[in-house]
Structure 1
């Protein structure tokens, strides 16, 4: 029986028991059913329950997925995915359920172009991070962010993974970071460069009193791990101080550091003579992707290397995105 508080707020109705089975099924496959997923599934449950019949018809799909002004393209895409997967789950249970037509995905598809930091801008980012002004209440951020940003730049880790790190996850003697049960329940060991080991080691010297099972980055205000919102706010503040903006004059998203890492790492492997068939799986394992398609979405070649890559690997077909992504 699902015991999550999030699940218990599902409204009663004819579909509620099947959403319970669906969540249990996803977890049995090792998937993490995050809070955001539970919230979106609750919303879908409410939409389906209004029809008061245990089936999903073409008419129901059309009505639920029709474009609405108050629903963003991203939220609609999530709704489409949830409805498609839940419908397929009901089909396995022999419950009448129509499949969601692939045309719905084409209607909401957007060309996402993350910001790829130039090497010059990465230096600017670190320069500002190392000189953050002191605050009235605490100066702890001047110790945390220089190493936190360096970990993001030097490992390509997800920000959620970095914020979930414990002191015991760091092994400076071996030069590795241990990531446990991250997205898709994937665990891995991440080797660090010599300069990053030095930065992390210096940080550990400053928090020597923290026990091994405590969070690596503890906020002095909450006495808990830094939140995503707090780091997001500071990262954009750092970008603003460094004068780093996207082509449409917006501040870069912190997740763009992961895209930047994947881009430069792959380019470096190719420059060192590694073929693409070997490089992609290695990069996928390093950044914690469970399949190569996920990694392909993070590859955004700089203008110089894009044309060289296409010329050398014309046979790869769909591997390289059709839209050329240039670095700024």
Structure 2
């Protein structure tokens, strides 16, 4: 992050600092945005030193960055456009970068499951358990997929989960050493507790001293390939394979978890935006912008919820690939 002390020099400095304070207050780290606003501030200082966003200055700044970077990911356009919206709401004259300047938006490779698909998928897991010849496929991998479904965890978080961090008696599971080192605690529902108590009882009788919760080895966890192969096998056996541009993956259970919670809150008439910081913390996102992403995702699959995202178009930043 750019040093916050006296880093902005142009007549826009006070407004930039106020804008960044606003972003930080809603949980956004905004480090990349801060970097580009610092860059724009220096450009503005030597190109008129305006106290508002001048159209020519903004567009020239965008153009010179475009020529200099040679990258298809032009996220700096998102940041100057967002700052323009903020400033225009105050002075009613600052330029908002027009739509002909569009960064390449990240199109997520996300498959959102229907409830019917998930019912068939888990039903097939139960059927396959009866004929599976290994402990891995009859007990452990089915439990991993229940874990992903119940908690919206990352696949790796399930694979490397240590037995010592699972506290069924206390009603929670600790996720340690996750992405960006964001440790967090997942609280257990009655349904999930009952499932994992049964799993735990069976596993403790078979491999009582295992290090990893989801493993049939004493001190080794499964590879990511194990999860993918099992998912594809069950998906095909359930008759769910179809020709689609986006192929479903185990990781999509995490996306399902996030979207289901947003839809549930909306259906219950709750303030979805007030709930986002809780979802951010629960899912281990490093900033609120990664959680906002799901509000953009939902209307693509559930058109009746278009209003949920369109009502916040001015507040939700454009999401770049590295933020997801």
Q: What TM-score do you get using the length of structure 2 for normalisation?
A: 0.60
1:164 is aligned to: 160
**RMSD of Structure 2 on Structure 1 (CA):** 3.3
1:295 is aligned to: 291
Tell me how far 1:109 sits from its aligned partner. 4.7
- 1:155 aligns to 2:174 (yes or no): no
2:42 is aligned to: none
1:259 is aligned to: 255
Could you tell me whether the CA contact under 8 Å between 2:228 and 2:250 is conserved in 1?
yes
1:202 is aligned to: 198
Could you tell me whether the CA contact under 8 Å between 2:148 and 2:254 is conserved in 1?
yes
Could you tell me whether the CA contact under 8 Å between 1:218 and 1:226 is conserved in 2?
yes
User: Matches of 1:248 and 1:110 in 2, distance apart?
Assistant: 19
- 1:241 aligns to 2:237 (yes or no): yes
Unaligned runs of 5+ in 1: 1-60, 68-75, 82-105, 323-328
1:146 is aligned to: 142
Deviations 1:47-67 (A, max 9, x none): xxxxxxxxxxxxxx999x879
SS of corresponding position for 1:235: helix
1:187 is aligned to: 183
User: Matches of 1:235 and 1:66 in 2, distance apart?
Assistant: 39
User: Matches of 1:295 and 1:284 in 2, distance apart?
Assistant: 6
Tell me how far 1:261 sits from its aligned partner. 0.6
Deviations 1:64-89 (A, max 9, x none): x879xxxxxxxx97xx99xxxxxxxx
- 1:317 aligns to 2:314 (yes or no): yes
Change (3 A) 1:114 1:315: closer
SS of corresponding position for 2:173: strand
Aligned residue runs from structure 1 range 97-112, under 5 A: 109-112=105-108
Larger radius of gyration: 2
SS of corresponding position for 2:174: strand
SS of corresponding position for 1:130: helix
User: Matches of 2:171 and 2:196 in 1, distance apart?
Assistant: 10
Tell me how far 1:113 sits from its aligned partner. 4.4
For these two proteins, the number of residue pairs brought into alignment is: 224
Among 220, 231, 237, the alignment partner of 2:227 is 231
SS of corresponding position for 1:237: helix
User: Matches of 2:265 and 2:180 in 1, distance apart?
Assistant: 26
User: Matches of 2:260 and 2:226 in 1, distance apart?
Assistant: 27
Change (3 A) 1:251 1:111: closer
Tell me how far 1:190 sits from its aligned partner. 0.5
User: Matches of 2:234 and 2:317 in 1, distance apart?
Assistant: 32
Could you tell me whether the CA contact under 8 Å between 1:168 and 1:213 is conserved in 2?
no
The higher-RCO structure (CA 8 Å, 6+ apart) is 2
Change (3 A) 1:303 1:108: closer
SS of corresponding position for 2:314: helix
1:281 is aligned to: 277
User: Matches of 2:239 and 2:269 in 1, distance apart?
Assistant: 35
Deviations 1:104-125 (A, max 9, x none): xx78654224110111111111
User: Matches of 2:288 and 2:246 in 1, distance apart?
Assistant: 30
